Amino acid sequence: MARRTKHTRGTTPPTLTAESPCPCGLPAPYGECCGRFHSGEGAAPTAELLMRSRYSAFVAHDAAYLLRTWHSSTRPRHLELDPGMQWTSLEIVATTDGSAFHSKGTVTFRARYRHHGKRGELHEHSNFERENGAWVYVDGTFIE
């Protein structure tokens, strides 16, 4: 999901309210789930929750949050999200480490999407580290 893309005509991202179902798939409303991380009220306590919140940020086209939660050594200067991309579901396949007791962790996931009406799936193994005490995305490897 860390792809840098150019703007093209597309769809408007969904409007998420505090009461909306959270796009990350957990059974909590957006405001109690990923929304609190997006607003800066808190920081994701695990690599998996950071992954979920980043997925939700892609759904909401929140480039500022994505940049804020990207490791300083791999973060791009700018991030333009493709408005033709609609993320439709997230499945966490596996996690390794990434808890409050770790400094590194991995999350393997499948994210399904529609891009200009065509369905697709992104399967990635993502690496996370703590930077200044907070979990951040480092990089990922696409799985075919």
pTM, entire model: 0.90
C-alpha distance across the termini of the chain, in Å = 14
Task: Give pLDDT, residue 9.
Answer: 47
What the block records as the tokens of 46 is 């695990």
Contact 61, 81 (CB under 8 A): yes
pLDDT at 49 over 90: yes
- Ramachandran area for residue 40 (φ above 0: left; ψ -120 to 50: alpha; else beta): left
DSSP 106: E
| Residues 93-128: tens digit of each pLDDT | 999 999 999 999 999 999 999 999 999 999 999 999
Closest C-alpha among 94, 101, 15 to residue 48: 94
pLDDT at 15: 86
**pLDDT for residue 2 is more than 50:** no
Q: In this predicted structure, what is the pLDDT of residue 1?
A: 53
- What's residue 4's pLDDT? 39
